Amino acid sequence: MLEHLNEAQRLAVEHTEGSLLILAGAGTGKTRVLTHRIAYLIENKIVEPRQVMAVTFARKAALEMTTRLEALLSQPSWVREIRMGTFHSVSGSLLRESTDAAAKLELMSEADQMNLIKEVLKQHSLSGPEWQPLEVIRKISLAKGRLLSPDDLAIDNDSKLATVYRLYQHTLEKDYLLDFDDLISRLVFRWEAEPALLSRHQKLFRFILVDEFQDVNEAQYRWLHLLTAPHRNLCVVGDTDQSIYGFRGSNITIFQRFQEDFPEAQLIKLEQNFRSSQRILAAAAGVISHNANPLTCKLWSEDASGPLLRLGRLVDERQEAHFVVTEIERLLGGSSHYQIYQSKDTDSLEENQYGFGDFAILYRTHAQSRPLVEALSAAGIPFQLLGEKAPFATQAADSLLSYLCYAMDTSSMNDLQVIFNLPPRGLGEKARQWLNGEIDKGIDPWEALRLASRNLDLPINYQAATDMLRRTIISLQNLINSLSLSEVLARAWEETGLHHHFQSSTSAEESFRWLHLLAALPGGKPATETIPAFLDDLSQWRTGDFFDPRADAVSLMTLHAAKGLEFPVVFICGLEQDLLPLTHKNQGKEALQEERRLLYVAMTRARHLLVLSTTSRRFLYGERRTCKVSPFIKEIPSSCLEKISVPASKKKKPPKEKQLTLF
């Protein structure tokens, strides 16, 4: 088990009792260390599988660890006993298991959260840039990540936001709803209020391992500190130079805090990089060295070769896109219209050794993708574009899940409101008002539907429509109790009429395909057991998790989405002031340092070749702007960089009109 590990990796794996801090630089094999350490603890009978908890920040990372552990353990079935998942999915499962009341709590969808915030803002006549719903949701999320209540915000002189937060949270609690952040904070508050529950959970898990520790916020750190207090067998793995989620509440100082709270912790650094050439590592080190960081990793690679980084200085975003496409075609040896022509006379060893799937184009904001997409399309180059949202974040998918949730809990007014007239069944606003009126009288929503289907005072179409809705829900309940989740989704997609209603929507079909695919991951258990966990898991998937490594296509994504991925050739576009770094005047030094770390993360995605580009002017967000070169470019050692001057394309003059003759 240990023969393929280097010395630092072996030390980390063989560490058993007590706290451990593993600083793992980019490409140093941290997932290998985590999985080998778990396997080592179990195989040497230091701990039972059910006493191990492994926490990640992405659902895909948890699945990858599961696959690796199945190959490492002498009994692959032990993997199912390990509590492994994201912070939120593990918290959700512990909440559901702790009391009957917790099991009844429903996780609110992003769409429902947005609608609730809009309603609260409308009630208080709040509008303007600072009161955009997404921005308010972000601020409330940050408050919950810091374990702050509405009263805490009021003390901080943010009274308006505190009022919105208070009303929002009151609605959630009244309707037995949780938002994404509540999964962590609710469990922390329960542990602090119920020592017996905390003690039970502490005894359940003797060894806790945390991946991507640099992404931890205050609530998650408190969560870990409480859970590991008796035994202190906490192993955290992270990289201070890859802390790029400050806007979500993470803070690079979490490493210093860990060392203060766990002074006995052994520190191990993983610094041998197995991904990139030494040239790329030297360039990335030149950038990140401008951040003051005593816990940085000095990466090195046995691959001392590798081409120089290429820097293209372009006129505008159109020429930048053309430059990227030209570079891809050059490296492919010619790729126009999907045809790759091999040439024995090529002057460059770089050419003809790549496929379309070996290229990634990275940028700071989604707004930069359009000219790149147009240029790739014009050249006939296949690509996959990772968007801002998960591919299942559509009305069709939300509606399908609301049907299943209501079938599981017919007292859920929130889900009934979603499915009441979707697909359209003639139950308009008057029918909805009648239903709400009955429920306001204290009648259960399911009973109100039954009464409506038999109420002769209501129009006949209301009676028929509500009766059909009830029959659909009863059918779904039977399916849920007898079939697996993936089978239930397939049947429900048809029986609810959603498939027919959304049949003209490509995004709806694609979102259903993803739901069906993800539903098969838990592994064949009855849907009644897996639906709550599945709903929690859906919120754990990051945009980058939907990257398909098997696709023979160029990948386009933001710098943040590229975290955790790697490619033979990486393009980083838009190295310009006010774009990369993307900072504002009122932001401090830490914001600039985080932007530098973001570039460092992007640079260390490249295995063989790294190509950078900057423009003199750029059309972005509806305006043409003059651009200054990013200050980060000057931080790259000149010995690592080859600057390419691309001449401005000359506009062709229209041919002079000439009189045509017959002879």
pLDDT, tens digit, 9 for 90 and up, residues 405-419: 889 888 888 788 889
Q: What percent of the chain has pLDDT over 90?
A: 57
Segment 481-494, tens digit of pLDDT: 888 888 888 899 99
Cα–Cα distance, 338 to 377 (Å, whole number) = 11
CA distance 39 to 456: 66
| pLDDT reported for residue 519 | 75
For the stretch 124-176, pLDDT in tens is 898 888 899 989 999 999 999 999 999 998 877 778 899 999 999 999 988 88
pLDDT confidence bin for 352, thresholds 50/70/90: low
Which run of H or of E encompasses 644?
strand 641-645
Nearest-angstrom CA–CA distance, 268 and 297? 10
Give pLDDT, residue 655. Answer: 52
Cα-based distances in Å from 404 to 351, 492, 527: 52, 8, 10
Q: Has residue 19 got a pLDDT over 90?
A: yes
- pTM confidence score: 0.83
351 contacts 333 by C-beta, under 8 angstroms: yes
pLDDT per residue as tens digits for the range 326-340: 999 999 986 554 444
Residue 472 CA to residue 402 CA, distance in Å, equals 13
pLDDT at 484: 83
Q: Was domain 106-175 assigned CATH 2.40.128.690?
A: no
Q: How far apart are CA 536 and CA 543, in angstroms?
A: 16
**176-190, 371-385, 387-401: the lowest-pLDDT one:** 387-401
Q: Would you place residue 532 in the very low, low, confident or very high pLDDT band (cuts 50, 70, 90)?
A: low
User: Which among 512, 608, 569 has a CA at the least distance from the CA of 359?
Assistant: 569
Least confident of 347-356, 436-445, 654-663: 654-663
Give yes or no for a contact between 100 and 94, defined as CB atoms under 8 angstroms apart.
no
Q: Where are the domains of the chain?
A: 7-97+195-267, 106-175, 309-335+352-388+546-644, 395-543
What is the distance between the alpha carbons of residues 330 and 348, in angstroms, rounded to a whole number?
9
User: Residue 388: what pLDDT?
Assistant: 66
Cα–Cα dist 149/161, whole Å: 11
In angstroms, what CA-CA distances link 549 with 66, 126, 188, 363, 620?
Answer: 18, 45, 37, 19, 30
The Cβ-side half-sphere exposure at 637, using a 13 Å CA radius, reads 14
Q: Is the pLDDT of residue 460 over 50?
A: yes
Residue 459 CA, chain-centre distance (Å), reads: 47
3-state secondary structure of 107: strand
- Mean pLDDT, range 103-129, rounded to an integer: 83
Please give the Cα distance from 304 to 605 (Å, whole number).
17
pLDDT at 244 over 90: yes
Mean pLDDT computed over 465-474: 91
Neighbours of 5 (CB within 10 A): 17
d(CA 161, CA 153): 7
What distance in Å separates the CA atoms of residue 640 and residue 304, rounded to the nearest whole number? 12
3-class DSSP state for residue 516? helix
Give the tokens for residue 340.
Answer: 């790759």
Contact between 581 and 614 under an 8 Å Cβ cutoff? The reply is: no
Residue 325 has which token pair?
Answer: 């496409």
Would the pLDDT of 42 be above 90?
A: yes
- pLDDT on residue 624: 92
Q: Is 237 helix (H, G, I), strand (E, B) or coil?
A: strand
pLDDT of residue 529: 56
> Which amino acid belongs to residue 587?
Q
Q: What is the chain's mean pLDDT, rounded? A: 87
* DSSP characters over 153-219: HHHTT-HHHHHHHHHHHHHHHHTTEE-TTHHHHHHHHHHHH-HHHHHHHHHH-SEEEES-GGG--HH
Average pLDDT of span 278-295? 96
Q: Which residue has the higher pLDDT, 428 or 21?
A: 21
161 vs 1: CA distance, rounded Å: 54
Q: Give 3-state DSSP helix, strand, coil % of the chain, rounded to 5.
A: 50, 15, 35
One fold for 106-175 and 395-543: no
pLDDT of res. 442: 84
- pLDDT reported for residue 108: 82
CATH code given to domain 7-97+195-267: 3.40.50.300
User: Which of 57-71, 258-272, 529-543 is predicted most confidently?
Assistant: 258-272
Share of the chain above pLDDT 70, in %: 90
Q: Which residue, among 551, 17, 82, has the nearest Cα to 232 in the 3D structure?
A: 17
What is the band of 398 on the pLDDT scale with cuts at 50, 70, 90?
confident
Nearest to 630 by CA among 579, 577, 591: 577
- What's the pLDDT score for residue 189? 95
Question: Are 198 and 226 spatial neighbours (Cβ–Cβ below 8 Å)?
Answer: yes
CA 125/CA 274 separation, integer angstroms? 55
- Cβ atoms of 24 and 502 closer than 8 Å: no
The DSSP symbol for 654 reads P
| Beta-bridge partner residues of 613 | 312
Residue 517 predicted with pLDDT over 80: no
Which of 318-322, 386-390, 420-424, 562-566 has the weakest average pLDDT?
386-390
Ranked by mean pLDDT, the top range of 169-178, 515-524, 556-565 is: 556-565
pLDDT band at 121 (very low <50, low <70, confident <90, very high): very high
pLDDT beyond 80 at 103: no
Using omega within 30 degrees of 0 as the cis cutoff, is the peptide bond preceding 423 cis?
A: yes
Nearest alpha-carbon partner for 58 in 333, 234, 245, 257: 245
Q: Are strands 623-626 and 617-620 parallel, antiparallel or unpaired?
A: antiparallel
Rg (CA), the chain: 28
Confidence bin at 663 (pLDDT 50/70/90): very low
* CB atoms closer than 10 angstroms to residue 433: 10
Do 139 and 161 touch, CB atoms closer than 8 A? yes
**Third-level CATH fold of 309-335+352-388+546-644:** Rossmann fold (3.40.50)
Report the alpha-carbon angle 266-302-73, nearest 5: 55
Per-residue confidence (pLDDT) for residue 60, from 0 to 100:
82
Report which DSSP code applies to 272: B
Residue-wise pLDDT tens digits, 575-621 = 999 999 997 766 778 899 999 999 999 999 999 999 999 999 999 87
Token code pair at residue 637: 């050692």
pLDDT digits (tens, 9 = 90+) for 245-262: 998 889 899 999 999 999
Indicate if the pLDDT at residue 440 is higher than 50.
yes
- Closest among 36, 45, 46, 48 to 3, alpha carbons compared: 36
How many residues comprise the chain?
A: 663
Q: How far apart are CA 458 and CA 251, in angstroms?
A: 58
pLDDT category of residue 102 using cuts at 50, 70 and 90 = very low
Superfamily of domain 395-543: PCRA; domain 4 (1.10.486.10)
Read off the pLDDT of each residue in 467-492 and give the average, rounded to a whole number: 89
Give the span between the Cα atoms of 547 and 542, in whole angstroms.
10
91 vs 200: CA distance, rounded Å? 14
What's the DSSP call for residue 308?
P
Among 11-25, 72-86, 328-342, 599-613, the range scoring the smallest mean pLDDT is 328-342
- pLDDT of 305 reads 78
Residue 343: what pLDDT? 38
Residue with tokens 């801090």: 21
Distance CA 645, CA 616 (A): 12
User: How confident is residue 315, by pLDDT bands cut at 50, 70 and 90?
Assistant: very high
CA distances from residue 315 to 49, 276, 311, 326, 339 in whole angstroms, order as listed: 58, 30, 13, 15, 29
Indicate whether 658 pLDDT > 70: no
Tell me whether residue 302 is exposed, middle or buried, using C-beta atoms within 10 angstroms of its C-beta: 0 to 12, 13 to 18, 19 or more: exposed
